[in-house]
A and B are shown apart, each in its own frame.
Chain A
Amino acid sequence: MYRYILNRLLLAVPTLIGAAALVFILMRLIPGDICVVRLGGGGGMVDPKAVAICHAQLGLDRSLFLQFIDFIAGFARGDFGISMWSGKPVTLEIGTRLPVSLEIAVLSTLVAVSIAIPLGTISALRQNSWLDHIVRTVAIAGIATPSFWLGIMSILFVLEISQLTTGAPWMPPIDYVPLWVDPLHNLSIVILPAITIGYRYSAVTMRMTRSAMLEVLREDYIRTARAKGLLEQLIVNRHALKNAMLPVVTLIGIEFAFLIGGLVVTEQVFNLNGIGRLFVQAVQNQDYTLTQALVMLTVVVFVITNLVVDVLYAWLDPRIRFG
């Protein structure tokens, strides 16, 4: 097992170098100049001397090769450098936003899992019943509805309902406070995004749970268990669900990794200062160092998540052995 994990981690190295080279080249293919955006984006006069000083300060007057070597060397040391836009260490920029994205990702996953697995299972067990039809309708609606739209609608719903009931429109606070500072304030901010993201997430997971369960329930060993007279609850929980979880866990892992950096629009809708919003800013501002670091972070998250999912496979299915 440990050997397998080590092998997987070593295999991640070329993946990371490839991703690093790709993002480095792609960022520089986008036309534009961070210094001009920074000094002239507001519409005022851009002083060429100020632009030249800006280029020198950001190291953009050096050759691309030197810039790439710096980036790779820094990455190997765990030093992503300074954000070209804010002048702050990239680790600080990301570190400030990561807890927000992580909290949303964890809560959304909890919401999704707690909805998807019971409903997906029930839907499979009651295939083609009215309950199954309702669950499938809810799941398809969830897949078809973009989270950001649902987010806007949920805020408007809260505003309208509060206006109707209390006479004054209300919405959750807009200034994020960490969970450990003020749990109530924090939860009132993150609960709506967690539900809206979790709903779409649960819809996909629900579909996967249902189809995996349907497949497993038709297996010979389930028929044997029933023939032996085992309780249906025991068959479902111990024999069917655990085996049906293999593709579901993979999906949960991929979705979780996506949530860390992929909530680009949803974070803007809820004014959450997370990694997704930072990603958009970094690309818009042509902040090379920050964009490169964020891409690398995303790659690392995906690599680790996939590794965790693979390790979970062995626990879920004892037939799987790591060579």
Chain B
Amino acid sequence: MTKRNGWLATALATTMVTTMATALAVTPALAETPKHGGTLTYMIPADAPPSLDGHKENTFATLHATAPFYSTLIAVNPDNPSSTTDFVCDLCTEMPKPTDDGKTYTFKIRTGVKFHDGTPLTAADVATNWEYIIHPPKGVSSARESYMVMVDKVENPDPETVIFKLKFATSAFVPALADPFAYIYPKAQLEKDPHWFEKNIMGSGPFKFVSYEIGQSMKGVRNPDYYHKGQPYLDGFNAIFAAKQSVRVDAIRSDRAATEFRGMPPSARDELVKELGNKVTVQTSDWNCVNLLTPNQKKKPFDDVRVRRALALAIDQWKGAPALSKIATVHTVGGLVFPGSPLAATKAELEKMAGHWPDIEKSRAEARKLLKEAGAEGLKFELMNRNVDQPYKFVGTWAIDEWSKIGVHATQKVLPTGPFYDALRHGTFDVAVEFNCQNIVNPVLDVAKVLPRSVYPENYGGYEDAKMIELYNAMLHETDPAQQRVKMRALEVYALDTQVDTIMTPWWNRILVQRSYLKGWKISPSHYLNLNLANVWLDK
């Protein structure tokens, strides 16, 4: 009980401090009164999404096109999305305090909310949707089932209440619940045909569906019955799909579009700022995405921890990050945990781990020594990378150069996404430039990437490690923030320094250039968040 109260107090204090800090930081923006009207045109840096169903899909292309139509139970605070701990109600009336030793969360649902067809939204709709997400019926796919392993059941005792009963208390639950893909669909339609939402839209969000031109655009119009009074400010939106970066940059430059919501490389930012000056604003944030250099431990000599450690020690993170950030979408040196999270390692903690030592010469001397001991001097191997420019190829090229400084010769092999995944899954690579990119900052779940494949199917390191699982479970079940942080460090040191199962590269940097008339929208550490456009307005 004491532990829980301590956690709550810390979380509350963090939230208050963050909120106050943000309020101070954005005072000029808040001083402006939002204006109603206008249509926002923005670019979606993708081709057509596979389907429109948030429960089923995992791609941002679905979210960028459909989020404005839907409500979720809770969400990151749209006025403070940079915080990793500030969650607010969307369909609920108040963020609940957990009971039953942190294992029960009771949500009261707003009344008077209507779906776009006029039917009322009740707690039954919310409960059924979450039940489908957590325990999908046979033949129904939920991309988020694995994220909700802590949930035992969802109850709906009355039309205004939804109760989540957890199997164990964990701080990972609330962020997982704020998943932006967890749209609330009408229960009746969901039960009648769960696949209906793959091709159709029916939500209760700030915008109503107007049209979808496959692979080209999605259009929405203001929902006059939206439950957040006064919002949305826009009359409508027009989202245009454009996979090619030059098209998006030219569109913003010529004011055919006001922005995009994923992220741009520094060169695009510099070009737009140079051409448009104060007609554009730039927002940046650390991004909850990171490339990992993963040795395949099923192949020699990468089964030898001395070789893996040497590869980590060769990389100068502290000098590399600022240099790379000038040309690639990376920025911050970090460990396993997203740098903006309270659970992240401090610089002093990082500097104790392989690949983060402050003295690079000492680090590389140690690397050479380890390679010699392992009989792997002059090691040659192939670095498998994904055929994506930003930042994959930049990071891969940088790593190869760093390794050359200890006499290791790596060549880069670039594959399209399909063959890249195939090689990962079949273990037909030496070292891979992997990535971990999660839609909401939930470090407790995000770091599961280092768990062996028997536990986490997307681990491609080719190792089994009972101690790693033990360390992870201890951290996952810990509810006291201070203790959880200690346990997270133990896991991180074990994964990155003791076993060196993967090698970190700088965390990504999210850069967005927007037309200055676009107001109200604030950047978050994820391109999946804060996309319903309810608080966005145009100062034209």
Contacts and interface: CB of A to CB of B under 8 A. Distances in A.
A208 interface: no
Contacts of B242: 174, 271
A241 interface: no
Contacts of A176: 213, 216
Contacts of B56: 50
Contacts of A87: 50-51, 195, 198-199
Contact of A45 (B289, B421, B423, B458): B458
A33 B199 contact: no
A284 B416 contact: yes
A275 to B, nearest CB: 11
A47 B143 contact: yes
B244 A33 contact: no
A43 B145 contact: no
Contacts of A38: 50, 57-59
B50 A85 contact: yes
Contact of B213 (A32, A42, A96): A96
Given A33-B418, A268-B243, A273-B213, A45 B250 contact: no
Contacts of B246: 152, 155, 269
Q: Which of A85, A173, A174, A268 gathers most chain B CB within 10 Å? A: A174
Given A31-B423, A32-B422, A269-B246, A47 B146 contact: yes
Nearest to A96: B214
A39 B58 contact: yes
B51 A169 contact: no
Interface in B247-269: 247, 250-251, 253-257
A323 interface: no
Interface in A265-299: 268-271, 273, 277-278, 281, 284-286
Nearest to B61: A42
A40 B421 contact: yes
A93 interface: yes
Interface in A42-80: 42-50, 53-54, 56-57
A43 B437 contact: yes
Contacts of B141: 47, 49-50, 53-54, 57
Interface in A141-179: 152, 155-156, 159, 162-163, 168-171, 173-176
A30 interface: yes
A45 B146 contact: yes
A32 B244 contact: no
A284 B416 CA distance: 7
B417 interface: yes
Nearest to B43: A174
Nearest to A170: B254
A231 B501 CA distance: 85
A159 B458 contact: no
Contact of B250 (A32, A49, A92, A155): A155
Interface residues of B, number: 61
A118 B51 CA distance: 49
A277 B421 contact: no
Contact of A47 (B142, B240, B416, B437): B142
A37 interface: yes
A43 B421 contact: no
Q: Which of A30, A87, A96 gathers most chain B CB within 10 Å? A: A87
Interface string B417-447: 1111111010000000001111100000000
A62 B254 CA distance: 50
Given A87-B199, A152-B246, A277 B416 contact: no
Nearest to A83: B50
Given A42-B59, A43-B437, A159 B253 contact: yes
A270 B248 CA distance: 10
A47 to B, nearest CB: 5
A93 B195 CA distance: 19
Nearest to B276: A169
B140 interface: yes
A242 interface: no
A249 B45 CA distance: 40
B105 interface: no
A86 interface: yes
Contacts of A268: 243-244, 247
A34 B421 CA distance: 10
Nearest to A93: B214
A115 interface: no
A286 B255 CA distance: 35
B247 A40 contact: no
B217 interface: yes
Contacts of B417: 32, 37, 41, 284
A88 interface: yes
A97 interface: yes
Given A43-B437, A48-B457, A96-B214, 15 more contacts: A31-B422, A42-B59, A45-B146, A49-B145, A50-B141, A85-B50, A86-B50, A87-B51, A87-B198, A169-B275, A171-B256, A174-B242, A175-B240, A268-B243, A273-B213
7 contacts: A32-B417, A32-B418, A39-B58, A159-B254, A169-B275, A174-B242, A174-B251
